[in-house]
Amino acid sequence: MKQTIILEKGDGELWGRLSYDPGEDKEGFLHTTVGANVAEITQNIRDLVTDSLEHELKDDPYWAGVNPNDIEFNYVYDLTAFFEVFNAVKINVIAEKAGINKALARQYASGVKHPSAQQAKKIEKAVHELANELLQVQIA
């Protein structure tokens, strides 16, 4: 089973949340935690799912037969969390690659302003372009 952890930075902490959509006839269950890093948040979410499977979700068909240790997670970051976790990535470089004003990008990264979906996609594309460039690097 694959699940997505959404990572956000707020109030000086890194937050993670996992949610699922069980369908129109039932309410979803929201797992939320804080942690010092992505590994801690992932473990906390895994622990929350384990506990939920013993209690609130024990009869939920979506989770039937799921072993929490077998869940694979992918991660979605808001910009403040991204630049916190990947602090080696320079905001100004990404802004330039994305064609976004550097001061505005810094405001996005600090959480002062929030990007539109279109701006967020530009930044995501610039990050992926940088990653592809780095994959081509050979060091002698």
Question: In the chain, how many domains are there?
Answer: 2
pLDDT band at 24 (very low <50, low <70, confident <90, very high): low
Residue 46's domain comprises 2-77
- Tell me what pLDDT residue 11 has: 82
- For the stretch 40-90, pLDDT in tens is 999 999 999 999 999 988 888 888 899 999 999 999 999 999 999 999 999
C-alpha 49, offset from chain centre: 17
13 within domain boundaries: yes
Whether 18 and 68 share a structural domain: yes
Whether 48 and 98 share a structural domain: no
Read off the CATH number of the domain in which 48 is found.
Answer: 3.30.160
Distances (CA, A) of 117 to 3, 25, 129: 22, 29, 18
Burial 74-94 (b: 16+ CB within 10 A, else e): eeebbbbbbbbbeeeeebeeb
Provide the residue count of the chain.
140
140 within domain boundaries: no
Whether 58 and 119 share a structural domain: no
C-alpha 46, offset from chain centre: 15
82 within domain boundaries: no
Whether 6 and 73 share a structural domain: yes
Which token pair is 89? 């990535």
